[in-house]
């Protein structure tokens, strides 16, 4: 029995490693295919949105805290990485990522301290309100952030002499970070902490009765999610070497939110799948059809009505049925 | 600011608040009466505005738009509720995703049908002049809007408190199974309520279009305004919508001319502040946790 | 409401316009005109019997959704019309245009630019309405050595030498067929002070990059000419209610107001101005040209009467090329062209002439760039040429005043500042 189980597990592990390797090296093996550069840039954007969606799922999926202002931390991370590179005149990737994590965490701490006192629709609106305030600051503080014109001159990231400037190198970086984030979120979700978050969603009262400081738990989730979002933002800044106010805007927050829901909230791969689907419809489809927004809307409607566990949930059900 | 200017700004603020109330009333009704998060509210508003555009273009009759748009959009709501929302009762996240989807579809179809130019609607004849207030011109339409907002609030209050429909709705929210057991068709009741909420959004589209303009993306902008008003005032009550718009209107108006650097985020800061001091909004009532 | 559609061309990408014509049933759109057939243009400069050269691919990045969609549609109309006039050939090369939506988002703009470079492999790129998007893709375009004609975004830095290329800087591959915000703001400032004898002005602009740049440049020009700015007010982009702002304007004494707004903001501002009786109270509306461009005037009509603005074009401009342009556009689309259409039109014409000069060879980038730099033609806006230093247009700035003529609100020319060049730094 055990040998069968461990063989299945080994196969799973090998499969995952192969998939990961294929992902990271995508630009290399896809070269013969025309338009592979473009595909690489789209996949890169999908992975970045996936990072944002994974971080948001810790709140929306695990902890049941529907945040509609998550792009604030994403954008804050982007600006932080960009500004830090400029201020210190440094290309160091660790400096940029460090600044991103620091700023987005602090911002999430400040906003979270206020927001986690609310729940449900009020929490939703508060997170939205604070995100709009962050947007306003980014827009107005033109001397620091470039304002509505955006922040150009994001430096090319370097790590221990490795230059991530070219599109391929940058993709490798994004893919590796994505996999690390995926691993991290997987560990969080399967840890006691992660299960405590789920407990929050299921029955907050009982968690409190069990002795958890639910406010502190919620706040820690908020900050953690904010920090990971900040990492995504930094990668976004490095990708196009530009940060715009769109990166802290409502549209970005909603994009992440619907990605989580479409892919399957509270699953590991759900946010990833959701990000891929949403970006595909939003960015690739419009080159070919005129009504991509309508398609996107219909996808949402159909998924809610027919596949409420999201794509991943649907796949699971189908898989279970096939196995039965 | 001179006293005369302050009076004019006060009128500006109150009329802006009235517009916000008319805009938010439908959202408040649907959330309060049915506990449904309707993020397609902005799209209904947008549709009302575009219908007004066509009616005014074709017939030159603004008041005809007022007669046509709300029922049309109400009909849309009447179809939408049973078809899409009925099975999502109580599932807020699903409602959010679904109504976002509906909003995207409506907004895109509007753009494909009417084009994506920036349009405007003139004030209706009879209300397109100015009267003299404190020695300066003031647009009559803005005064009309205040009156309209008050009348609307009164009508909604009467329906809510004094009519059978209102009582049924109130009861349905309190205890739907009991109401059903008493023989009331809950499904039809909620469908009608949603239709009324949608119609109110369409109504707002007619009334506000001459002031706020018509452009792609207006659905998102005015959905956000509606949400802020409804949340600030206290979710789910008519008086909450009144309170929210009465607060936000003047504060936004005075705030943005006195503190222009905060103009962009002013209403959000106000909302955050209100929620800090009164977590369920100004007049919100604590709900039993579900 | 939208343009009528020409015949589907196999080489065209499926666009919104075409899909709409093909499938929309309920739309109340003006009847489609007759199918367009390749029209051997009288202005052909290549022998019709020569075998056509290799296909020329142009990537056009324009907004087709979100708030600036109207501009994108207008510019597409002008582009399509220009190509139709040329039998869809430039320098004897059949042309394919790939249109992509910039969606008012620099990330999308960057991605679509990448698509033009890697996937579509365009020979040249044109478009971009929003300045942040232009700033965002400047480096990618420069690195890819892609010739790019900017047909709207007027951010000054795009064609200037700046420190650290912040927020942007010129590139030898980037040309602009539209304007720099300096050009539409500084000359009118100087003009007001020196020619019109205006002593004091109060500024009221949209609080974002373009608005602030315009206010700053106007202030420079005006104060240099001896004028005084008595105060300023700013409104956030997309403000819902302009009445409070105009109330403030009325509460101060300076009668000349200089403004920068466009689109919905301009419409709402002008309406609020009328509602409070500003003109009757002696106030004078002035601004950069977009305040009263055709997209605004068609909605506010006579409410903008008397507004004085500066722009490098007006639909009433009295020269042969403009008459031909306006007539042609009206015949094709039953619409008056706006300045955005004009910018796209001139961009195409510049490309056309440069291509002819290099006999259609776009592989030698430096030769093509030199050809563009030497382009000089009579455009509907007057004499058009690129500044060799900055690749920004050298053009006349017209001082215009809004009047109703033949039932339509238009800008009439009341003055001119000749041959305005952007300072370049």
The ipTM value here is 0.94
Note whether C290 and C358 are same-domain residues: no
Whether residue C167 is found in the same domain as residue C246: no
Asked if C371 contacts C149 with a C-beta cutoff of 8 angstroms, the reply is: no
Residues A104 and A84: their CA atoms lie apart, in Å, by 13
Average confidence (pLDDT) over C2-21: 42
pLDDT band at B224 (very low <50, low <70, confident <90, very high): very high
Query: How many other CB atoms are found less than 10 A from the CB of residue B30?
Result: 30
Report the residue of chain B nearest C17, measured CA to CA: B112
Same domain for C411 and C380: no
List Cα–Cα distances, B167 to B172, B187, B285, in angstroms: 8, 16, 18
Q: What is the pLDDT of residue B267?
A: 93
What token pair was written down for C382?
Answer: 């007057």
Does C26 touch chain B if contact means CB atoms closer than 8 Å?
Answer: yes
Which has the higher per-residue pLDDT, B175 or A189? A189
Do the domain assignments include residue B286?
A: no
- C287 and C384 in a single domain? The answer is no
Interval C361-385: pLDDT, tens: 999 999 999 999 999 999 999 999 9
Task: Please give the average per-residue pLDDT across A275-282, as a whole number.
Answer: 96
Is C52 part of a structural domain of the chain? no
C64 band by pLDDT with thresholds 50, 70 and 90: very high
Beta strands in chain B (DSSP E): 130-133, 136-139
C296 and C334 belong to one structural domain? no
Residues A171 and A225 in one domain: yes
Distance from CA of C84 to the nearest CA of A (A): 22
**Residues ≥6 apart with Cβ < 8 Å to A98:** A84
Q: Is A176 in the same domain as A313? A: yes
Enclosing domain of residue B24? 3-277
pLDDT value at C42 more than 90? no
For residue range C243-285, what is the model confidence (pLDDT) as tens digits? 999 999 999 999 999 999 999 999 999 999 999 999 999 999 9
pLDDT tens per residue across span A29-73: 888 887 888 899 999 999 999 999 999 999 998 899 999 999 999
Q: Is C212 on the interface with A (CB under 8 A)?
A: yes
Residues of B in contact with A286 (CB under 8 A): none
Question: Are the C-beta atoms of C392 and C415 separated by less than 8 Å?
Answer: no
Q: What is the pLDDT of residue A44?
A: 96
pLDDT (0 to 100) of residue A161: 79
**Segment 120-139 of chain C within 8 Å of chain A by CB:** 131-132, 135-136, 138-139
Q: What is the pLDDT of residues B231-287, one digit of tens each?
A: 999 877 888 999 999 999 999 999 999 998 889 899 999 999 998 888 888 887 654
Which residue range(s) make up the domain with A254?
33-323
Choose the mutation target among C240, C281, C297, C409 for the interface with B, i.e. most B CBs under 10 Å: C240
Residues A72 and A21 grouped into a single domain: no
Cβ contact B113–C69 (<8 Å): no
Sequence-ordered list of residues with C-beta below 8 angstroms from that of A31, at least 6 positions apart, any chain: none
The more confident residue out of C23 and A158 is A158
pLDDT one-digit tens code per residue, C123-174: 999 999 999 999 999 999 999 999 999 999 999 999 999 998 989 999 999 9
Q: Are strands C228-235 and A158-159 parallel, antiparallel or unpaired?
A: unpaired
* DSSP assigned state of C289: G
Q: Is residue A58 located within the same domain as residue A196? A: yes
- Looking up residue A301, the CATH number of its domain turns out to be 1.10.3470
Among all residues of chain C, which has the CA nearest to that of B118?
A: C264
Same domain, C195 and C256: yes
Which two tokens mark A253? Answer: 């927050």
- Pair (C216, C261) in one structural domain: yes
Provide the shortest C-alpha distance from residue C33 to chain B (in Å). Answer: 18
Is residue C50 included in any domain, yes or no?
no
Question: Which chain C residues are closer than 8 Å to A283 by Cβ?
Answer: 108, 111
In sequence order, the 6+-apart residues with CB closer than 8 A to the CB of C89 are: C46, C52, C95
- Do C411 and C290 lie in one domain? The reply is yes
Q: Is A297's CB within 8 Å of B235's CB?
A: no
CATH of the domain at B252: 1.10.3470
Instruction: Quote the tokens at residue B197.
Output: 């909420």
Neighbours of chain B (3+ CB pairs under 8 A): A, C
Does residue B95 belong to any structural domain of this protein?
yes
What does the pLDDT read at residue B288?
42
> C234 and C95 in one domain?
no
Question: Is C8 inside any structural domain?
Answer: no
Nearest to C17 by CA among C30, C410, C298, B160: C30
Asked if the structure places residue B181 within a domain, the reply is yes
Convert the pLDDT of each residue in A77-100 to its tens digit: 999 999 999 999 888 999 999 999
Give the per-residue pLDDT at C175: 97
What pLDDT shows up at residue C1? Answer: 40
The pLDDT score that the predictor gives to residue A7 is 85
Q: Is residue C34 part of a domain?
A: no
Tell me: do C101 and C237 sit in the same domain: no
pLDDT of residue A320: 85
Tokens 């002035």, residue located: C286
Residue range C337-352: mean pLDDT, rounded: 97
Across the interface, of C101, C114, C132, the residue whose CB is closest to A244 is C132
- Mean pLDDT over all residues of chain A? 91
User: What domain range includes position C214?
Assistant: 182-311+397-420
- Cβ atoms C375, C177 nearer than 8 A: no
**Is the domain of C291 the same as that of C401?**
yes
Cα–Cα distance for residue pair A40/C241, rounded to 1 Å: 44
Mean pLDDT, to the nearest integer, of C208-216?
Answer: 96
pLDDT in tens, B119-156: 999 999 999 999 998 888 999 999 999 999 999 999 99
d(C-alpha C143, C-alpha B101), whole Å: 39
- Predicted local distance difference test score (pLDDT) of residue C50: 66
Say yes or no: A217 and A303 in one domain.
Answer: yes
C44-63: pLDDT as tens digits? 444 555 678 899 999 999 99
Are A5 and A57 in the same domain? no
Confidence of residue C17 (pLDDT cuts 50, 70, 90): very low
| pLDDT number for residue B162 | 81
Q: Residue A118: list chain B partners with CB under 8 A.
A: 275, 279
3-state DSSP call for residue C315? coil
Min Cα–Cα distance to chain B from A242, Å: 23
Q: For the beta carbon of residue C271, count every other beta carbon within 10 angstroms.
A: 24
Please report the pLDDT score of residue A264 as a whole number. 86
Please give the biggest Cα pair distance in chain B.
63
Does position A156 have pLDDT exceeding 90, yes or no? Answer: no
Pair (A100, A23) in one structural domain: no
How many residues are present in chain C?
Answer: 425
B288 in any annotated domain: no
The predicted structure's pLDDT at residue B90? 80
pLDDT exceeds 70 at position A238? yes
Taking residues C76-82, report their average pLDDT: 98
Specify the number of domains making up chain A. Answer: 2
Per DSSP bridges, beta strands C408-420 and C393-405 are antiparallel
DSSP state of C228: E
The per-residue pLDDT for range B36-60, each reduced to its tens digit, is: 889 999 999 999 999 999 999 999 9
Per-residue model confidence as pLDDT tens digits over A295-310: 999 999 998 888 767 7
Confirm whether B287 is domain-assigned. no
| Counted domains in chain B | 1
Cα separation of C292 and C312, whole Å? 13
Burial letters A57-89, b for 16+ CB under 10 A, else e:
bbbbbbbbbbbbbbbbbbbbbbbbbbbbbbeee
DSSP output for C337-398: --HHHHHHHHHHHHHHHHHHHTTT--S-HHHHHHHHHH-EEEETTEEEEE-TTT-PEEEEEE
Calculate what percentage of chain B has a pLDDT beyond 90.
68
Domain for residue C347, yes or no?
Answer: yes
Domain count for chain C: 2
Percentage, residues of chain C above pLDDT 70 = 88
Q: Which residue has the higher pLDDT, C39 or B186?
A: B186
A18 & A148 share domain: no
Helix, strand, coil share (%) of chain A residues, nearest 5: 80, 5, 20
Residues C363 and C214 in one domain: no
Does the N-terminal peptide bond of residue C167 adopt cis geometry, omega within 30 degrees of 0?
yes
């Amino acid at each position: 029995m055990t040998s069968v189980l461990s063989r299945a597990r080994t196969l799973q592990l090998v499969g995952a490693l192969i998939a990961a390797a294929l992902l990271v090296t995508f630009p290399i093996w896809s070269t013969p295919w025309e338009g592979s550069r473009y595909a690489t840039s789209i996949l890169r954007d999908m992975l970045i949105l996936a990072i944002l969606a994974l971080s948001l799922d810790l709140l929306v999926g695990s902890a049941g805290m529907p945040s509609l202002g998550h792009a604030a931390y994403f954008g804050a991370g982007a600006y932080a990485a960009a500004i830090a590179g400029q201020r210190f005149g440094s290309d160091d990737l660790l400096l940029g990522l460090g600044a991103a994590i620091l700023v987005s965490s602090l911002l999430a701490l400040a906003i979270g301290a206020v927001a986690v006192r609310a729940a449900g629709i009020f929490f939703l609106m508060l997170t939205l309100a604070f995100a709009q305030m962050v947007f306003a600051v980014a827009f107005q503080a033109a001397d620091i952030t470039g304002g509505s014109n955006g922040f150009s001159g994001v430096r090319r990231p370097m790590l221990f002499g490795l230059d991530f400037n070219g599109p391929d190198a940058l993709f490798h970086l994004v893919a590796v970070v994505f996999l690390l984030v995926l691993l991290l979120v997987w560990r969080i979700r399967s840890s006691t902490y992660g299960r405590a978050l789920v407990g929050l969603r299921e029955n907050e009262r009982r968690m409190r009765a069990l002795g958890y400081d639910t406010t502190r738990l919620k706040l820690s989730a908020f900050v953690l999610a904010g920090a990971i979002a900040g990492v995504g933002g930094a990668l976004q800044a490095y990708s196009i070497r530009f940060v715009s106010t769109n990166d802290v805007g409502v549209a970005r927050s909603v994009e992440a939110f619907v990605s989580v829901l479409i892919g399957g909230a509270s699953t590991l791969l759900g946010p990833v799948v959701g990000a891929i689907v949403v970006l595909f419809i939003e960015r690739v489809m419009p080159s070919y059809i005129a009504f991509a927004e309508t398609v996107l809307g219909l996808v949402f409607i159909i998924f809610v009505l027919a596949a409420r566990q999201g794509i991943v949930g649907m796949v699971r059900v189908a898989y279970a049925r096939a196995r039965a | 600011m001179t006293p005369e200017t302050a009076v004019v700004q006060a009128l500006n603020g109150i009329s802006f608040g009235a517009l916000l109330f008319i805009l938010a009333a439908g959202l408040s009704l649907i959330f309060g009466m049915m506990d449904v998060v309707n993020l397609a509210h902005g799209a209904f508003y947008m549709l009302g505005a575009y219908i007004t555009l066509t009616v005014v273009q074709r017939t030159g009759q603004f008041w005809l738009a007022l007669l046509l748009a709300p029922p049309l959009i109400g009909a849309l709501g009447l179809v939408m509720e049973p078809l899409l929302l009925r099975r999502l009762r109580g599932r807020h996240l699903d409602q959010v995703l679904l109504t976002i989807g509906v909003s995207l579809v409506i907004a895109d179809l509007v753009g494909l049908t009417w084009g994506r130019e920036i349009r405007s609607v003139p004030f209706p004849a009879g209300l397109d002049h100015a009267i003299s207030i404190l020695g300066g011109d003031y647009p009559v339409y803005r005064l009309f809007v205040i009156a309209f907002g008050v009348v609307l609030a009164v009508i909604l209050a009467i329906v809510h408190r004094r009519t059978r429909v209102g009582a049924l709705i109130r009861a349905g929210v309190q205890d739907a199974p009991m109401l059903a057991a008493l023989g009331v068709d809950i499904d039809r009741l909620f469908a009608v309520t949603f239709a009324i909420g949608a119609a109110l959004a369409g109504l707002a589209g007619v009334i506000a279009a001459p002031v706020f303009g018509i452009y792609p993306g207006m659905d998102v902008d005015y959905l956000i305004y509606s949400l802020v008003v409804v949340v600030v005032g206290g979710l789910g009550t008519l008086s909450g919508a009144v309170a929210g718009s009465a607060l936000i209107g003047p504060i936004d108006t005075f705030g943005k001319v006195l503190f222009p650097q905060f103009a962009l985020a002013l209403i959000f800061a106000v909302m955050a502040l209100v929620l800090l001091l009164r977590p369920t909004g100004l007049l919100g009532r604590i709900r039993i946790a579900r | 409401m939208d343009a009528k559609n020409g015949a589907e061309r196999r080489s065209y990408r499926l666009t919104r316009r075409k899909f709409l014509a093909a499938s929309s049933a309920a739309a109340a759109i003006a009847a489609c005109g007759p199918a367009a057939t390749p029209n051997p243009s009288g202005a052909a400069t290549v022998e019709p019997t020569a075998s056509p050269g290799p296909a020329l691919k142009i990537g056009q990045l324009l907004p087709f959704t979100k708030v600036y969609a109207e501009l994108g549609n207008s510019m597409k109309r002008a582009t399509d019309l220009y190509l139709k006039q040329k039998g869809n050939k430039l320098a004897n090369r059949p042309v394919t245009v790939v249109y992509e939506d910039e969606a008012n988002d620099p990330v999308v703009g960057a991605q679509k630019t990448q698509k033009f470079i890697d996937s579509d492999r365009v020979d040249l790129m044109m478009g971009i309405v929003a300045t942040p998007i232009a700033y965002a893709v400047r480096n990618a375009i420069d690195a890819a050595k892609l010739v790019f004609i900017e047909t709207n975004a007027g951010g000054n830095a795009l064609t200037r030498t700046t420190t650290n290329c912040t927020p942007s800087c010129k590139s030898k591959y980037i040309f602009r067929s539209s304007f720099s915000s300096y050009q539409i703001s500084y000359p009118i400032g100087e003009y007001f002070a020196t020619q019109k004898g205006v002593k004091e002005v109060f500024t009221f602009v949209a609080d974002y990059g373009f608005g602030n740049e315009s206010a700053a440049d106007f202030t420079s020009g005006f104060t240099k000419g001896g004028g005084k700015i008595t105060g300023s007010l700013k409104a956030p982009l997309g403000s819902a209610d302009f009445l409070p702002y105009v109330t403030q304007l009325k509460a101060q004494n300076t009668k000349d107001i200089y403004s920068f707004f466009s689109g919905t903001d301009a419409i709402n501002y002008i309406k609020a101005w009328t509602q409070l009786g500003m003109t009757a109270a002696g106030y004078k509306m002035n601004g950069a040209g977009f305040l009263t461009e055709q997209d605004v005037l068609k909605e506010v009509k006579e409410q903008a009467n008397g507004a004085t603005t500066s722009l490098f074009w007006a639909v009433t401009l009295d020269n042969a090329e403009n008459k031909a342009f306006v007539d042609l556009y009206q015949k094709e689309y039953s619409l008056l062209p706006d300045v955005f259409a004009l910018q796209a039109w001139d961009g195409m014409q510049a490309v056309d002439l440069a291509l002819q000069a290099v006999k259609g060879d776009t592989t030698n980038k430096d030769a093509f760039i030199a050809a563009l730099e030497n382009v000089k033609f009579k455009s509907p806006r007057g004499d058009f040429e690129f500044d060799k230093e900055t690749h920004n247009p050298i053009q006349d700035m017209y001082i215009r005043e809004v009047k109703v003529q033949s039932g339509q609100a238009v800008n009439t020319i009341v003055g001119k500042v000749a041959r305005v060049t952007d300072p370049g730094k």
